């Protein structure tokens, strides 16, 4: 299968690979997917007092499209407010990376990962 | 010219050996006669070549040339053996036994017969990929007409105990068919010593041309088949259609070369295989061999690299041509049914690579491949949340995953 140039770029030079301290009150962690399905994404965000995502890190078990989708969204969400980040749609991710239909689930997983990280952060800050 | 990837997918197909091609070429042009034409020299020359090829194919199986039926490949041979026997004997018996790790063409032929009303038993395999002979004994009934068990598995390379299966079948009066597409030229085969009644083989799996194969059909005791392809009654009425002389010549020559070179080639491949696997094991933790370590052909390895997804891994080693058990590229997104049948966890099946060595694989190829795989597995593990969790001592099975 032919991957798009953008997928190859993110796969070969993934942005923001790593982990943040999940115990830190400023950090929200999202872990989505399942090993049995061949895709697991861990996405972490570090949120400022003003509610802006200052840092984002990911680790992904999956195919090149899954790695690229998660790498891409870490770039996109940095500097965004939680609300803006939560509005990122899988279709935008899929379009940007030119994912074929069989790989659309990778972009859906990346969208889920952002939402899960935001949910985790909000759970730590009930008033936010 | 762009350098091509190192070819490590010999269970998928093999290049046609130049020595084979050389023997084939005259039969496309000068010696173009129809081997079934009896009235002139063009036909006689072609017939002579086909007869010689038939002898070469028979020789590698220790069979009689009159027992060899040329087909378009192993898929057709498997279809002909299974459907042909089932249909011919359907008034007397209606039960077939096969196993869950067979090639799709065997499984699909059996499914087709089930739809026609035949009963099919799919034997499980043990965790090493080999069937339990007691399961086979218990599955045979007075209604069983055929047992079809592959000689060598295409994904994991394990060798089934053919002689033992053959003996059980002969004692029970049941025909024994084996899909030997991955076995011919790789392991010694003797249809008489092993009590094999039908055997399928393929040209392109043993350095012959694509588009040709053969079915061995025993004469004593005679196995009868209902033909799938009707017509001029060629191949003793079991497979009509004009034979392709060059393809038959190629298959014959491929068998002859394989027979001559098999023992030396086995030793060479075994050494390459061991060299590769040692390099991997010396550098990487948590790698698991799928399928029996001993009862396998020397040209195959199937390895799971825990916490690294197979398709993702393949993308990183694009200088290597091999295949993955992950099958994430297929529409189903289901990992290999063969690995699942061994009891390999779905998540581990997603992390597997099939590595095939063959006639044109060099020591340098093997060393380069091992280094590339090691480097990429390490890179992807550093990126893998599952690897991180396993390093932290978290049991991945204890997590509630949302399966999608």
CB B321 within 8 A of CB B296: no
Which chain A residues have a beta carbon less than 8 Å from that of B387? 61
* B404: confidence class by pLDDT, cuts 50, 70, 90: low
**ipTM computed for the complex:** 0.94
Q: Quick check: B329 pLDDT over 50? A: no
Indicate yes or no: CB of B396 within 8 angstroms of CB of A66: no
Quote the minimal CA–CA distance from A69 to chain B in Å.
13
Indicate yes or no: CB of B401 within 8 angstroms of CB of A11: no
Q: Which of A3, A20, A38 to mutate to test the interface with B (most CBs of B within 10 A)?
A: A38
Q: What is the mean pLDDT of residues A56-78?
A: 96
Say how far apart CA B214 and CA B201 lie, in whole Å.
5
Which chain B residues have a beta carbon less than 8 Å from that of A63? 309, 311-312, 315, 326, 328
Q: What is the mean pLDDT of residues B280-285?
A: 97
Is A37 annotated in the active site?
A: yes
What are B81's two structure tokens? 């053996």
Indicate yes or no: CB of A61 within 8 angstroms of CB of B335: no
Cα separations in angstroms, B214 against A63, B24, B53, B184: 39, 17, 11, 11
Indicate yes or no: CB of A42 within 8 angstroms of CB of B316: no
**Per the residue annotation, which of B16, B105, B248, B328 is the catalytic one?**
B328
Say how far apart CA B57 and CA B71 lie, in whole Å.
12
Give the mean pLDDT of chain B: 95
What are B317's two structure tokens? 């080693």
Quote the minimal CA–CA distance from A48 to chain B in Å.
25
Cα separations in angstroms, B268 against B78, B156, B184, B272: 31, 19, 17, 6
pLDDT in tens, B178-219: 999 999 999 999 999 999 999 999 999 999 999 999 999 999
Indicate yes or no: CB of B404 within 8 angstroms of CB of A109: yes
Which chain B residues have a beta carbon less than 8 Å from that of A11? 312, 315-316
pLDDT in tens, B49-86: 999 999 999 999 999 999 999 999 999 999 999 999 99
* A45: confidence class by pLDDT, cuts 50, 70, 90: very high
Indicate yes or no: CB of A39 within 8 angstroms of CB of B309: yes
Nearest to A34 among B315, B316, B401 (CB): B401
**Per the residue annotation, which of A37, A75, A91, A95 is the catalytic one?**
A37
Q: What is the mean pLDDT of residues A89-116?
A: 94
Region for residue B237 given its phi and psi (left: phi exceeds 0; alpha: psi -120 to 50; beta: otherwise): left
């Amino acid at each position: 299968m032919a991957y798009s140039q953008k997928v190859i770029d993110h796969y070969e030079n993934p942005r923001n690979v790593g982990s943040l301290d999940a115990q830190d009150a400023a950090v929200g962690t999202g872990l989505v997917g399942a090993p049995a399905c061949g895709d697991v994404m861990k996405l972490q965000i570090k949120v400022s007092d003003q509610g802006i995502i200052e840092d984002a890190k990911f680790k992904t078990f999956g195919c090149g499209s899954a790695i690229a989708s998660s790498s891409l969204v870490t770039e996109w969400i940095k500097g965004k407010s939680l609300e803006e980040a939560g509005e990122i749609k899988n279709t935008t991710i899929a379009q940007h990376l030119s994912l074929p239909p069989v790989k659309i689930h990778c972009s859906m997983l990346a969208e889920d990962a952002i939402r899960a990280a935001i949910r985790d952060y909000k759970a730590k800050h009930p008033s936010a | 010219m762009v350098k091509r990837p190192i070819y490590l997918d010999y269970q998928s197909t093999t290049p046609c050996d130049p020595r084979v091609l050389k023997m084939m070429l005259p039969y496309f042009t000068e010696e173009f006669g129809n081997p079934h034409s009896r009235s002139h020299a063009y036909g006689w020359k072609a017939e002579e070549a086909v007869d010689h090829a038939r002898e070469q194919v028979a020789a590698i199986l220790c069979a009689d040339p009159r027992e060899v039926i040329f087909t378009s490949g192993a898929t057709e041979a498997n279809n002909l053996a299974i459907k042909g026997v089932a249909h011919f004997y359907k008034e007397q018996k209606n039960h077939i036994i096969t196993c869950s790790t067979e090639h799709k063409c065997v499984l699909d032929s059996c499914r087709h017969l089930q739809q026609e009303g035949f009963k099919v038993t799919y034997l499980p395999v043990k965790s090493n990929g080999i069937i339990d002979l007691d399961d086979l004994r218990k599955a045979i009934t007075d209604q069983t007409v055929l047992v079809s068990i592959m000689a060598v598995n295409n994904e994991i390379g394990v060798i089934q105990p053919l002689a033992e299966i053959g003996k059980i079948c002969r004692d029970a009066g049941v025909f024994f068919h084996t899909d030997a597409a991955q076995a011919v030229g790789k392991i010694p085969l003797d249809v008489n010593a092993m009590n094999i009644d039908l055997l399928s083989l393929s040209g392109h799996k043993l350095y012959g041309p694509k588009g040709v194969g053969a079915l061995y059909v025993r004469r004593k005791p005679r196995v009868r088949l209902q033909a799938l392809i009707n017509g001029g009654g060629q191949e003793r009425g079991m497979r009509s259609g004009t034979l392709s002389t060059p393809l038959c010549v190629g298959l014959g020559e491929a068998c002859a070369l394989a027979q001559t070179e098999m023992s030396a080639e086995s030793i060479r491949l075994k050494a390459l295989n061991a060299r590769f696997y040692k390099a991997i094991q010396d550098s990487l933790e948590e790698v698991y061999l799928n399928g029996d370590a001993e009862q396998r052909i020397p040209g195959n390895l199937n390895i799971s690299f825990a916490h690294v997804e197979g398709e993702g891994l393949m993308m990183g080693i694009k200088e290597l041509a091999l295949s993955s058990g992950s099958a994430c590229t297929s529409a189903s997104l289901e990992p290999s049914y063969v690995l699942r049948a061994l009891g390999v966890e779905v998540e581990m099946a997603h992390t597997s690579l099939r590595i095939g060595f063959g006639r044109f694989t060099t020591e340098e190829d093997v060393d380069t491949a091992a280094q590339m795989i090691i480097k990429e597995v390490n890179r992807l593990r550093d990126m893998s949340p599952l690897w991180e969790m396993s390093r932290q001592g978290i049991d991945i099975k204890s997590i509630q995953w949302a399966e999608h």
